[in-house]
A = this chain, B = another copy of it.
Amino acid sequence: MTASTLVPVFAALGDDTRWSILAALGGADASASALAEVLPVSRQAIAKHLAVLQDVGLVEPVRVGREVRYRVLGSQLAETARRLDLIGAQWDRRLATIKQIAEGLESE
């Protein structure tokens, strides 16, 4: 059941501050301290968010000298999207099946 790993990703993406962090990292890789200068939250709060994002594989730490910069992994976003799309498609298929059955009943 790979779906169990999917829910935490959505939980991670369900927070505005984390999207702000992802957006900031979209410009260039940055450390927690650097992000704290841009965003209206403390460095420690950002560090927590980065830990969450790293746990679900949305972000990757890169040591540069004595600081730790983070990079967004777009592939993980795409992968999550792919799996979500599959689920949505399954529901549509179910609806289609029900429609078929209903139409079959009508024509009898």
Chain A residues with a Cβ under 8 A of chain B = 3, 7-8, 10-16, 19, 26, 72-82, 84-85, 87-92, 94-95
Contact = CB atoms under 8 A, between A and B. Distances in A.
Contact of A13 (B10, B19, B73, B90): B10
Given A26-B94, A78-B88, A88-B78, A7 B13 contact: yes
A3 B19 contact: yes
A12 B94 CA distance: 22
Given A82-B85, A84-B80, A92-B75, A7 B16 contact: yes
Given A7-B15, A81-B81, 20 more contacts: A8-B14, A10-B11, A11-B14, A11-B15, A12-B14, A13-B84, A14-B14, A26-B94, A72-B91, A74-B88, A74-B90, A74-B94, A77-B84, A78-B88, A78-B92, A80-B84, A80-B88, A81-B85, A81-B88, A82-B85
